[in-house]
Each structure stands twice: as structure tokens, then as C-alpha cells.
Structure 1
């Protein structure tokens, strides 16, 4: 049975976002990809001093400033040590679970931009004690085998301490074409969604009133740093942070949210309680558009909204979540419906956002 493919989604764009290499503090390649896809729809493109990219789509001169943010960095590693045999010890950048790493291939990127593949070392199970088999290896204890004889060969390749290490993964459309697999969906998927929001708004016959700032932030995985500097530069009135959340529909993770269920509104996480009026407005738009509504409440972890909402004298903020399987691993799976419904929701919110709505969102907070 042929599955109906959901949404007007450019798979080439998603492939380029996913396959770009860029851990926290090394997002330049991703930023170039985002700039390429933003340029047809942005009136201006600028950067903050940490490297977050800002595409501006202008509305009215006095229009409300709407910031939509998705972070560009992915989890990965830095070269921490090179031993005499040429094995590389790695420093995790972002959260890794030791179980997902042994025998996986990783790519080292040199200062000159050259890339070399290695494999994370692992032990054969034969003869291992039961307690060893059941123990999770700490990422700091793992090593990368580059298939060389010595440290000298590593240095001849141009690899040095501090070089970036990233998963070696190709974008894949799954057997049901609505399921998409790739690396770095946390959070490149959401950076791509910003491009699609701007594309839809650009195609409207009547321009939107708000001034839209589409932001690819940096260094989210190590402390939401780019969100802080970008928000302070833009000084938005309203902000939407886009990020992934755990899809609770596998034999390992069981819960309410899962792939293909549509929009997820984040009520709160460890760093923010979403603006309630904003939440209610998004619910109303979902009802108007016939979009599915789900909710996310996390007691650990956070998103760029955690820092954005505290900028200056406070920003009306909300997080929209995209369910994702196998976060912080080599291969993540997402669903086209969740992507597309969230794009439609944000586009319609931007169309409706004006001074009157801003006042409505702030009711009860400043009076």
C-alpha cells in the first residue's frame, strides 16, 4: 500500500542540514547551509558575535518583533588526546550515552576542513565477565581507531588536539516515506523549519505585519549560549523556540507523545514555564487549522526558550516540540506530519501577530 506523503517539504534541504558537520562552537558549516536556504526569503541576514545567524523578514515598520529559534549545533566530540599508537581519546560535547557509541563510525574534521573516518573501539564479547558486559562504558573511556600505526600518521593527516569529531551518518528516507532518518535532527530539523515558515510567508499575497527574525542559534547543547546573545541583540517581543523531544512510542520509551501525532505544545520544562496566553493562542490556531494538539512537560532538560524569555525585561515565549526517536545518537528518526503541522502553526501565528495580539499575550503579566 502506497503511503500518502505529508507536507511540502524539500528533502534536499533536510539532507544538507542533517549531513553538515557542526558541534557546539563549530557551527560555521551549518550556518552556511542555513544562509543558503534562507537567502531567497529573508530581507536581511546578520550574525551575533557567537555566530548565531539571523534572517529578517520585514513586516510593518512598527511591527511586533517575532523571534523563531532553532539551534544549529549537534552533539559530538573533540580530540582530547592522541596516544603513541594513533588512538584518539575523545571529549564529549553535549550529552552521550555510552551504549550508543561502540563500533560506530565517526568523522574527524581538521583545521583545513579535511575529514577522516574512524571507528569507536569495542571489545569482543567472548570471555568478558558478566559484570563487564552489563556495564555502560563512559564516553570518556572510549577511543577512536583511525586505522593507523602511530601518532605520527595522525599528525601527518593534519589532525590536532581540539579538532571536531562528529557522527558519520547519511540522510535516509525510510520504508514509509513519512519517516526520515539522519543525524543532528536535534536541532537541525527545527532550523530547517524556520526556512519553511519564511518560504510560506513570502508566498502570501498579503504581507504579514510582524517583523520575523528566523534564528539559527549556536552552542545550545552546552548551555543555551547562542539563544542568550541572539535574544539580547534582537530584543524580540515574542519568541518561539523549536526543539526536539523524546518520542515515547518505541519498545524502550513508552508514553503519550509519538511520531506522526502532529503539533506538540510545551507547557514547561526545567528552565521555563511557557506563557499561558501564548499557549492558549496556539491551541486556538490549531483548532482553526484542523491541526492535532499534543502537550509536553519535562522536569529535566530545556530549550533555547529558557534563556530567551529572560532577555532584557522578559520576552513572551513558548517552546514547540518535535518528537524524535534516538536523540543524541548517530541516527534519529522523525515524521513529516509533525514537521509540517508545526510549520503551518507558526506561519499562521506570524500572520496574525500584531500589537493587539501582543497585548493579549501579555495580559495578566504586566497589569
Structure 2
């Protein structure tokens, strides 16, 4: 088990890593470094990272732990004559969250250069433009170049360069809070890695395989490939889930910060196996693990493809509450992360072939 300081440092590194959809290499490198001493580790061409506990026998039911490694970001679409760039979103951005933010753009050397998302200054807007809705098509990214030639030659920026929010993760120990980018789903990646770390020395009745899967934010593409490579019998999906405690009426709050992980009964991608869900909720009550339940009208996770693979794979989503996901800055609590790990570890320790057959 990692110390608190080691866990905090891991979460910070994962949050700070550059890894928009399709460009998750840095996250895979962190996952490999953290797990290769006790896991067999491999990658596919998409950069899905597969981690299999070395003590697996291959003769037991297989449980799959997953979290997606990509974050919301952008991609360079074109370079304008004045040296600014048009861009397209990678993932579900609201235009309201985009302008006036710092970003990092990868150049041809692999370096990430700081810039800003810009729109026409108010001084130059017509009244119609002032009243118009925000639109990403009317925004540009500016690194400070003075021409297209300057951007290409001196900054070495190319078409299709990945763009990430320029945010550094911080932890407030007194208040137990992280503020940073990409907690959807780097906080889940940290939970996968710590769960593996705690399970490595346990005598289990299941084999354990885990993934840091790519391109979830653009349609669960990575896990769609991974299901072809993992013959799982049951699965736990970690997510950084949108906290609702600052927007909804009290009776509708289902994912509050500092009240434990959220278990989702329903979203537009999955109706959770009710028997597996009930078993997990009863276990949390017995083990005194704080947990929340939700029924969502929207949303979707990697569980979409996992739970319909093979003959049907009982799957639950363990959501770490994060305020303001799908923006440059999120807020989450260390205690929710720890309880998410505890839930997964205790659940894996209880599972065996007979229990899984009940689902």
C-alpha cells in the first residue's frame, strides 16, 4: 500500500500528464512505471495499457479493472496567416468553458508550448457579435507568433498537434482537496493503480487484469478494442464522475463530494446488473464504506462495451465525485479516492466463481 504522500504525488503526476484523446502516451508511461514490478504490462497500438497481476493462475474467474487515460482537449485544425490556429474539440466541451484559458500545444519536437484560447476582443466587436452565442469556430489559439511562417519555423507547430489545458494540480492538505485538470478520469487511473498495488499480495479467488484505456471521451474507442483482448467474467470501471452538489436541489443530489464513491444504477449507456449492484451495496454497508447511488438521464462510460461483451459481463461503475469536469479545472477530495479504492479492493477479495454465478 502506498503512503498518503505517495498517493498524492501519483494523483498529481497523472493529473499534470499531457494526454488528450489519441495522445495518451505520457499516461501510459506513468501506468507502466507504477505497475511493472508486480504486473505483466503490455500496450496495443492505440496505447491501451494492459496490466495483469503476476500471481494470476489463468484458472480462476477474471475480473477487469478499468479507467480511461485520455482527457478532454483540442487538436489543431489549421494555421491562419497571422500565426494563430483554428482548432477542434476532443470530447464534450461547452463553448462557455473554453475562451481566455491557457493551453499547451505540442510542437514537432514533442515539447508543449504555452498559449491562450482567444476570441475577438470586445473593443472590436459589433453589437451583433457582442450578443451572439459563443462558438468554438470563432476562437483561435495564440502562442504569440506573428505569422504562419513564424509559427511553423520558430514554434515548429504542425497540423493536428494535440492541445491540453495548461493547469498544474495542487493539493490542499488542510481541506483534503485537489484542484487540477483531467480528473476525468486520471483520478480513476490512480485508483486502478492503487487497487492493483493493494491486491498484489492478497490470496484471491479471481485473476485480476486492469487497463488504462484510451479515447473514452471521443466514443469509448479504446475499450471497444480492449474487449477483444480480455476475456473478463466481471468488471469494475472507475470514473471521474460529475459532482452535482453545487447545482441540484438536495433531494436530487446523488454525487456529492466527500460522501464516498458513486455507484450508478442507470445511464444512457448501461443498465447496471442489479444483482451485482445489490451485492456491492450490501458489502459497502457491511464494511462501512460510504457510498452514493445515482440514476442518470445522460452520461456514459466504458462499461457500455464491457457489459455487453462475451456472454454479458456483470459490470459496475465506481465514480469518484469531481466538480466541474469537462472544463479546465476540477475539484475532488482525497477521501473519496481512498474510499473508491477500498470499495474495489474489498469487493475483489470477496469475489469467487460461485459469487459471480449469482449475477
Unaligned ranges ≥5, structure 2: none
Compared CA separation, residues 348 and 92, structure 1 to 2 (3 A): same
Instruction: Quote the residue 2:261 is aligned against.
Output: 263
* Structure 1: distance between partners of 2:233 and 2:256: 31
2:115 counterpart residue number:
118
Equivalent residue for 1:311?
309
Distance in 1, Cα, partners of 2:185 & 2:172: 19
The residue aligned with 1:234 is 230
What is aligned with 2:286? Answer: 288
Per-residue deviation, 1:124: 4.4
Tell me whether 1:341 sits opposite 2:329 in the alignment.
no
Q: Is the 8 A contact 1:88 1:143 kept in 2?
A: yes
CA distance 1:149–1:170, change in 2 (3 Å): same
* Cα offsets for 1:245-288 (capped at 9, x unmatched): 221122x4554121000121110110110111110111122012
Match of 1:352 among 326, 350, 357: 350
Partner of 1:67: 64
Partner of 1:326: 324
Aligned counterpart, 1:3: none
The answer to whether structure 1 residue 46 and structure 2 residue 42 are counterparts is yes
Contact 1:70 1:243 in 2 (8 A): yes
- Normalised TM-score (structure 1): 0.91
CA distance 1:152–1:76, shift in 2 (3 Å): same
Shift in CA distance, 189/355, structure 1 to aligned 2, threshold 3 Å: same
Q: Distance in 2 between matches of 1:117 and 1:107?
A: 5
The 2-side partners of 1:90 and 1:176 are apart by 39
Q: CA 1:325–1:130 in structure 2 vs 1: closer, same or farther (change >3 Å)?
A: farther
Pair 1:218-2:214 in alignment: yes
Secondary structure of the structure 1 residue equivalent to 2:320 = strand
The answer on whether the counterparts of 2:42 and 2:50 sit within 8 Å (CA) in structure 1 is yes
SS of 1:10's equivalent? Answer: helix
TM alignment of 1:185-204, pairs within 5 A: 185-204=183-202
Q: CA deviation at 1:299?
A: 1.8
Give 3-state SS (helix, strand or coil) of 1:187's partner: helix
- The RMSD of aligned alpha carbons is 2.0
- The alpha-carbon distance between structure 1 residues 355 and 147, as it changes in their structure 2 partners (threshold 3 A), is same
**1:193-222 per-position Cα deviation (integer Å, ceiling 9, x unaligned):** 011101111244xx2121111110011011
Shift in Å at residue 111 of structure 1?
A: 3.6
Does structure 2 conserve the Cα–Cα contact (< 8 Å) formed by 1:66 and 1:237?
yes
In structure 2, relative to structure 1, the CA distance for the partners of 1:203 and 1:312 (3 Å cut) is: closer
Displacement of 1:74:
0.6
Q: Displacement of 1:177 after TM fit?
A: 3.6
Task: State how far apart, in whole Å, the 1-side matches of 2:341 and 2:10 are.
Answer: 15
CA contact (8 A) 2:119 2:138 kept: no
Residue of structure 1 equivalent to 2:157: 159
1:72-96 deviation per Cα after TM superposition (whole angstroms, max 9, x unaligned): 0011111101011101101111011
1:262 aligned counterpart, secondary structure? coil
8 Å contact kept, 2:186–2:240? no
Q: Normalising by structure 2, report the TM-score.
A: 0.93
CA contact (8 A) 2:261 2:321 kept: no
Which whole-Å CA distance do the structure 1 matches of 2:317 and 2:6 have between them? 22
How far is the alpha carbon of 1:346 from its aligned partner?
0.4
